[in-house]
Amino acid sequence: MPELYDTLLKNNKKWVEEVTEKDPDFFSNLSKGQAPPVLWIGCADSRVPANVITGTQPGEIFVHRNIANMVIHTDMNMLSVLDYAVNVLYIRHIIVCGHYGCGGVRAAMNNTQNGIIDNWICHIKDVYRLHHEELSQIADEEARYNRLVELNVVEQVLDLAKTSIVQNAWKGDKPLWLHGWVYSLDNGLVKDLDVTYGSNAELLDIYKFNE
Ligand code: CO
């Protein structure tokens, strides 16, 4: 039995053959540039690949993934991706996609030390604190965990809305929509959390930038 690693390059060749057979211009077209309409901010979890679960092709989604799909305002990597996506690619939609069964969110719910990652996970504990009242009323631990996954996405979408990058885009003439999704590992379906923002109108005044 070959290891999975050995099959990766073979699979690549096979994929190129299949794609070019269907569309001989596929690679020459894509190599001219990209104009994806969507930015995906998802979990690094191997079971939640943006293109596969949305049935999209290379060139259609600009992707940023990290542990527990976080939008942290000191994260230069995330900010650079966001700025490029909004101000150079002019993407129309940003989707924060979390998933039930997220190890990062699970880690935030217990008190075990996991090393340096605890500093990252602490941002999820902050989400728990913000929604402590609601979460403390959910007796079943699994249900509480699922709800924290959802609330974490809600807060990350809001964290996007708080950025000057997104708010400056809203002042322009191109629409930009933020969305929050949760993916189910059990059945493959996405739940739209219906936390959509298309302007800063619904933000607390304290978060609104003038110019
Ligand atoms: Co995860």
Q: What is the mean pLDDT of residues 157-175?
A: 96
Nearest partner of 176 among 98, 90, 97, judged by Cα = 90
Mind listing the pLDDT tens digit for each residue in 186-204?
999 999 999 999 999 999 9
Asked if pLDDT for residue 173 goes beyond 90, the answer is no
> Where do you find CATH 3.40.1050.10 in the chain?
35-207
Which whole number is the average pLDDT over 11-16? Answer: 97
Per CATH, the number for 35-207 is: 3.40.1050.10
**Pairwise CA distance, residues 63 & 82, whole Å:** 10
- Tell me, yes or no, if 47 is annotated catalytic: yes
Q: And the tokens for 140? A: 């079943």
Instruction: Note the pLDDT of residue 1.
Output: 56
User: Active site residue: 99, 123, 159, 179, which one?
Assistant: 99
For the question of residue 97 being annotated catalytic, the response is no
pLDDT tens digits, residue range 86-116? Answer: 999 999 999 999 999 999 999 999 999 999 9
65 is catalytic: no
Radius of gyration of the chain (CA): 19
* pLDDT band, residue 76 (cuts 50/70/90): very high
Per-residue model confidence (pLDDT) at position 2: 66
> Ligand 1 centroid to 67 CA: how many Å?
6
Q: Taking residues 10-37, what's their average pLDDT?
A: 97
Cα dist from 104 to 66, 101, 122, whole Å: 10, 9, 10
What's the 136 CA to ligand 1 centre distance in angstroms? 22
Mean pLDDT across the stretch 72-87?
98
102: annotated active-site residue: yes
Cα 139 to ligand 1 centre (Å): 23
pLDDT for the residue 44: 98
Of 6, 23, 25, 43, the catalytic one is: 43
HEC-encoded secondary structure of the chain = CCCHHHHHHHHHHHHHHHHHHHCCCHHHHHCCCCCCCEEEEEECCCCCCHHHHHCCCCCCEEEEEECCCCCCCCCHHHHHHHHHHHHCCCCCEEEEEEECCCHHHHHHHCCCCCHHHHHHHHHHHHHHHHCHHHHHCCCCHHHHHHHHHHHHHHHHHHHHHCCHHHHHHHHCCCCCEEEEEEECCCCCCEEECCCCECCCCCCCHHHCCCC
Average of per-residue pLDDT across 56-73: 98
Catalytic residue among 97, 102, 123, 179: 102
Q: What percentage of the chain exceeds 90 in pLDDT? A: 96
How far, in Å, from the CA of 44 to the mean position of ligand 1?
6
pLDDT of residue 40 exceeding 60, the answer is yes
- 73 as an active site residue: the answer is no
CA atoms within 13 A on the CB side of 76: 0
Which one from 6, 23, 25, 47 is the annotated catalytic residue?
A: 47
Q: Average the pLDDT over 72-83 and give the result.
A: 98
171-175 contact pairs (CB < 8 A, 24+): 171/211, 174/90, 174/92, 175/92
Write out the residues surrounding ion ligand 1, Cβ under 5 A. 43, 45, 102
